[in-house]
Amino acid sequence: MEIDAHAHQKSKSTQILIGVHTIGIHPWELTLPFSRSEFDKKWEKLIERTEGIYAIGECGLDRIHEGIADIEDQKYVLMKHFELALERKLPIILHSVRTYSDALEILKKTKFPHNILMHAFGGNDHEMHELLKYPVYFSYGARLFKTDKMLKVTPLDKLLLETGDQLEYSISDIYKFSAESLGIKGSELEEKLYNNFLTFFNKLDDISASDFIKDLNTRKSRT
């Protein structure tokens, strides 16, 4: 089974669909002028939703995107997500662009005990080494077709694959490329990443895993 760990578009694959199976506010949504008090009102309304939520996010930090709140306001927003994830005992899905040191600072501060997905990871070897001190997984998508350097050094038990917000490559394309890049059979990669996916979401027994996958696919088809 091919698992899409971070999707913005519905497909036939089993997937975590951002905004359907998760709740969160992307840093690009923090447009200017930014007001913490106005954000707090929006946040309180957002988190009223509790049904069918399997992760918090996509949320995070971005030092490159223009026209959004400054990094300190982004950190304020991100801490709200970590607090919610702690309260609901859920994993968190992070967007991080040129902010890995900032993310590490927050991980050290919060001592967050649940799993963390570094979505579309674009860091380097050193940043990965530091992040692996925490319960962090790394997902890769279409960027692999430009460079697969970090894929090859990612621990296989911390790896997931995704389509993200692009439409050019399907999850099957990404699995096929990744298997060839890693020099393993496609079926072996599918099995390993399926187990990683269930471990990330703490669905480790046969009953919970079956219900989890069924619910993902059922709820996706109704949106």
User: What's residue 220's pLDDT?
Assistant: 75
Give the Cα separation of 202 and 198 in Å (integer): 6
Q: Is the pLDDT of residue 223 over 70?
A: no
C-alpha span between 197 and 72 (Å, rounded): 32
Q: What percent of the chain is predicted at pLDDT more than 90?
A: 93
Mean pLDDT of 208-215: 93
Provide mean pLDDT across the span 95-100. Answer: 97
pLDDT band at 222 (very low <50, low <70, confident <90, very high): low
DSSP H helical ranges for 8-140 = 36-46, 71-88, 100-110, 125-131
Between 139 and 206, whose confidence is greater? 139
Strand order in the sheet with 159-161: 22-23, 55-62, 92-97, 116-118, 136-140, 159-161
Which whole number is the average pLDDT over 106-125? 95
Which pLDDT does position 119 carry in this prediction? Answer: 97
Q: Please provide the average confidence, as pLDDT, over all residues in the chain.
A: 96
Domains and CATH numbers, the chain: 3-222 (3.20.20.140)
- Tens digit of pLDDT for each residue in 56-68? 999 999 999 999 9
Ramachandran region, residue 32 (left: φ > 0; alpha: ψ -120 to 50; beta: rest): beta
pTM of the model: 0.96
Question: Would you say residue 216 has pLDDT above 90?
Answer: yes
Backbone angles phi, psi at 122, to 5 degrees: -125, 20
How much is the pLDDT for 127? 97
pLDDT in tens, 163-207: 999 999 999 999 999 999 999 999 999 999 999 999 999 999 988
